[in-house]
Structure 1
């Protein structure tokens, strides 16, 4: 499968703990509102922009997506989010209750999704797909990664070890007790090459996000084809954000 470095928009390390937010779809509007209360840097203002509009407004109203775009623009303008100068990959570790899992953050390709190289195990709801597709297209960005897993081996373990011995870019514990640690990968080409030898990955979480990224990417590709008469398959919008965790590190928890 294909893995690609990308120029991330990422937080100033001094305020990363204020930006970090739970996934958009694990909280209600009321819960998201409370989590972001008094914190204009919270990424929930982007992922759940309905919290910044009157409660009576439908969460799929066009004003919600415009508000999300405004919030992202504001976070960039004020320096809370900063664009990397060169494309990169990151190692991302989550630690909870004494257990850790460390994945590689990069971009994966919509063609791999379509060809079932990225494999799914859930059906999706059209309304939720429509929502995140509009979100991606309005922001021209993937606001959250898809959680993928793959069958790991000695090569990826060997690539990870020296990176994890260096100082991280970010290391903080969120209010829910989960510790988040992120390292910049110094040799992204080696990871790209290693993933060429990995035949498939699986969507562990994010079926709606991945379906929406595919829909947005194919829609933008069709627009390029109409405009130029060609349908290139390596535009930035053909890739979507993912974090790929090794299967050997995962633990299935009860959903209750």
Structure 2
């Protein structure tokens, strides 16, 4: 049984919603970021970049405290207001790729601890701890964890009914997306949604493993420090965006490697031949169409690599994952890439960018070789999570990506 609850969000007043909402901080170029901070006083970027007010870079715990101060200023000025009733929030994004919608709600830390909310990625301990300290100081979270569940006709019908009504927010962004948000706070619909989620034996983290892990650490610490702990406190939950599996968009990451680890082109191809059937595609841009097929761009030409399945043994769901095969049979043994997170010789391009970028970056001389593959499926992700296995870093790039600042969960 999965516990997914409504909560009282802190939100922008409707007049400010489009101005407040921002992309993740790291998505902005330096010039774009400066323009937002210079000319939009309501951007959520002012909260997460509090030193800009004083034209001064601020780091560490001092920055955390100033984030808290900027947030309180937005509340005091009426830019943010807290809802009186606990609600579920329908959030829809319509883009050139299509539309998707889901429910923003509070997910249970206990479900996370018991693996009712299932994971498929490893997290880094120091990042978990750093974000836990950030949450503790600022007292709020504005980036929901992306959770996915099997399509549910009852929830779908309820959302469709509600979305016929005028939304609370409706605004467009300069990347040609339309964002809309509705509130569900009437007791009958709230009860129905909660009941439908309670029927789910498991739900899965699609994106946000570090956010959920940090919320778990904060909950553990808060429970230990609260002698009157009841289990209903806000720290026992974390904000999530729950989206049906059919609404999820999963892309691959291509790999770019700076050198051939001392091998000549000919030596490298001979080493690949042990595990892959290789076809030179010349100047034809090649993208795989099947699992266990890879594309490679090397020395101005595309190659297809087909895994020799007579040589390779499938032992579990992880061993069948293409990003794992690429690491185990090429990146690690041949190219000497041991650490996919921190090795400076490897970079990644998410699959929303086409193969022209991979080709351009190899042709520039910055990289020697690039590899691509098909994206993992939701079935693969779920199977790996069910077997308590973890995917290699940068195995998936998952959308939708929500705007920051539209719903805020206070601890």
Q: Calculate the TM-score normalised by the size of structure 1.
A: 0.89
Q: Is it true that 1:153 corresponds to 2:152 in the alignment?
A: yes
**Aligned-partner SS, 1:195:** helix
Hey, what does 1:13 align to over in structure 2?
Answer: 14
Out of 235-244 and 35-44, give the one that drifted further: 35-44
Deviation at 1:150, TM superposition (A): 1.0
**Selected match of 1:232 from 209, 230, 233:** 230
Q: State the aligned residue count.
A: 250
Give 1 or 2: higher helix fraction: 1
Partner of residue 212, structure 1: 214
Query: Compared with structure 1, are the counterparts of its residues 169 and 40 closer, same or farther at alpha carbon in structure 2 (3 Å cutoff)?
Result: same
Higher relative contact order (Cα pairs below 8 Å, separated by 6+ residues)? 1
- Pairing 1:48-87 to 2, within 5 Å after superposition: 48-49=49-50, 51-52=52-53, 56-58=57-59, 61-87=60-86
2:329 counterpart residue number: none
* Matched position secondary structure for 1:37: helix
Kept after mapping to 2: 8 A contact 1:19/1:41: yes
Helix, strand or coil at the partner of 2:250: coil
Alignment partner, residue 161 of structure 2: 162
- Give 1:140 deviation, angstroms: 1.6
Write the distance in 1 (CA, Å) between the matches of 2:77 and 2:57: 30
Distance, in Å, in 1 between the alignment partners of 2:45 and 2:164 is: 32
- Counterpart of 1:63 in 2: which secondary structure? helix
Q: Deviations over 1:199-240 (max 9, x none)?
A: 222111111111111111111111113xx4xx4222111011
TM-score by length of structure 2 reads 0.57
- In 1, Cα distance between equivalents of 2:128 and 2:116: 20
Q: Give SS of 2:18's match.
A: helix
Are residues 32 and 253 of structure 1, via their aligned partners in 2, closer, same or farther at CA, if it must alter by over 3 Å? farther
Distance change in 2, residues 1:29/1:127 (3 Å): farther
Q: Superposition pairs for residues 71-150 of structure 1, below 5 Å?
A: 71-150=70-149
CA distance in structure 1 between the aligned counterparts of 2:114 and 2:41, rounded to whole angstroms:
40
The answer (yes or no) to whether the contact 2:143–2:239 under 8 Å persists in 1 is yes
Q: 1:25 to 1:196 in 2, by over 3 A?
A: farther
Give the C-alpha shift of residue 97 in structure 1. Answer: 0.4
Distance across 2 between alignment mates of 1:148 and 1:103: 10
Residues 94 and 181, structure 1, Cα contact 8 Å, conserved in 2: yes
Unaligned stretches of 5+ residues in structure 1: none
| Aligned partner of 1:243 among 241, 244, 248 | 241
Q: Which residue of 1 aligns with 2:182?
A: 183
